[in-house]
Amino acid sequence: KAGVTQTPRYLIKTRGQQVTLSCSPISGHRSVSWYQQTPGQGLQFLFEYFSETQRNKGNFPGRFSGRQFSNSRSEMNVSTLELGDSALYLCASSLRSNWRGGNTGELFFGEGSRLTVL
Amino acid sequence: GESVGLHLPTLSVQEGDNSIINCAYSNSASDYFIWYKQESGKGPQFIIDIRSNMDKRQGQRVTVLLNKTVKHLSLQIAATQPGDSAVYFCAENRFGDTDKLIFGTGTRLQVFP
């Protein structure tokens, strides 16, 4: 069974540009969440999607957005890139089957997309 | 604010010794805790979890201890092996927060032969 796949693995952008990152969850997983990992701030929750709807959102500016498609694949977009957006962006999927409530299901992480902003 | 932290950024142990990685959390509303292992170039990998109605949970060579009184979590690795070298994160989750995790800052475990 294939794991969580993220593309691209590495990319370099300049300030002011925008970037789109893609995530394909494990087959059958409907919940996808995104995390930003930096040396200074560690792992921080960005947002979570379930059945094409954002279910939860972290404390990031509106430049960070995401979406989920009917096949559960997800994308996240960062507009007007800043130097501080340089990070490893991790996608995770889980087998959660319900929309509301409860704790997390076991999260399976991809290897991440490493973004460098120059 | 919300925070989950670790006491030691780097832990060096000799192969075969036991390792203990500590974590402090700040929110008493958290009721589910998970330890993750992250190897270089990879995403975090689930190791073991524990719910707040438990004090201890054991897995294969790993044990997680939860002390709700002092909001402390620890991961014990028995007979540490070179393959255990990685960064370890604790994470907290709250009922209703679904898949949103609050991660600690991480501890790097180095295993020497």
Answer whether residue B97 shows pLDDT above 80: no
pLDDT at position B94 is 87
CA dist., res. A88 & res. B24, Å (int)? 24
Q: CA dist A76 to A33, A54, A115, Å?
A: 10, 12, 12
* Distance from the A110 Cα atom to the nearest Cα atom in chain B, whole angstroms: 5
Long-range contacts of B41-44 (CB under 8 A, 24+ apart): B41/A111, B42/A111, B43/A4, B43/A90, B43/A92, B43/A109, B43/A110, B43/A111, B43/A112, B44/A43, B44/A90, B44/A107, B44/A109, B44/B89
pLDDT at position A75 is 98
Answer whether residue B2 shows pLDDT above 60: no
CA dist., res. A55 & res. A32, Å (int)? 10
pLDDT at position B25 is 87
Per-residue pLDDT tens over the stretch A62-109: 999 999 999 999 999 999 999 999 999 999 999 876 656 666 678 899
Q: Dihedral sign, CA of A5, B90, B63, B110? A: positive
- Which chain A residue shows the shortest CA-CA distance from B96? A101
Nearest by CB to residue A31, choosing from B95, B99, B103, is: B99
Better pLDDT: B101 or B9:
B101
Respond yes or no on whether the N-terminal peptide bond of residue B82 is cis (omega within 30° of 0): no
- Residue B82 is classified by DSSP as G
Answer whether residue B6 shows pLDDT above 50: no
* Assigned token pair, B53: 């109605």
Nearest by CB to residue A102, choosing from B98, B102, B106, is: B98
* Distance from the B70 Cα atom to the nearest Cα atom in chain A, whole angstroms: 22
pLDDT at position A1 is 66
pLDDT at position B28 is 86
Per-residue pLDDT tens over the stretch B15-70: 999 999 999 987 888 989 999 999 998 999 999 999 999 999 999 999 999 999 99
Q: Tell the burial category of B36 from Cβ atoms under 10 Å away from its Cβ (0-12, 13-18, 19+).
A: buried
| Mutation site, B39, B99, B105, interface A, largest A CB count within 10 A | B99
- Residue A25 is classified by DSSP as P
- Which chain A residue shows the shortest CA-CA distance from B89? A43
Q: Is B95's CB within 8 Å of A101's CB?
A: yes
pLDDT at position B7 is 44
